[in-house]
Structure 1
Amino acid sequence: MSKVTPCLWFNGNAEEAANFYVSLLPDSKILHVQRNVTDNPSGKEGSVLVVEFTLGGQRFVALNGGMKMEYTHALSLMINCADQAQVDSVWEAFLAHGGKEEQCGWLKDRYGVSWQVVPTVMFEYFSSSDRAAAKRAMQAMMKMVKLDIEGARRAFEDKSAA
Structure 2
Amino acid sequence: MQKITTCLWFDGRAEEAMNFYVSIFKNSKVTSVLRWPEGHADAGKVLMTTFELDGVPFQALNGGPQFKFNEAMSQSIDCKTQEEVDYFWEKLIEGGGEPSQCSWLKDKFGVSWQVVPEQLPRLLLDPDRAKAGRVMSAMMQMSKIDIAEIEAAAKG
What is the TM-score of this pair, normalised by structure 2? 0.93
Determine the C-alpha separation between the residues in 2 that align with 1:144 and 1:92. 15
Could you tell me which runs of 5 or more consecutive residues in structure 1 were left unpaired when the two chains were aligned: none
Q: Distance in 2 between matches of 1:56 and 1:105?
A: 20
Once the two structures are TM-superposed, the CA of residue 130 in structure 1 deviates from its matched residue by: 1.8
Question: How many residue pairs are counted as aligned between the two chains?
Answer: 156
The alpha-carbon deviation at position 67 of structure 1 amounts to 2.6
The equivalences for 1:2-151 within 5 A come to: 2-38=2-38, 44-151=42-149
Partners in 2 of 1:38 and 1:81 — Cα distance?
A: 44
Q: Match of 2:75, SS?
A: strand
SS in 2 for 1:137: helix
How far is 1:68 from its partner? 4.9
**Partner Cα separation in structure 2 for residue 132 and residue 57 of structure 1:** 38
Identity %: 46
**RMSD between aligned residues:** 1.5
TM-score w.r.t. structure 1 length?
Answer: 0.90
Give the secondary structure class of the aligned counterpart of 2:96: coil
AA at the equivalent of 1:33: V
Aligned: 1:156 with 2:154: yes
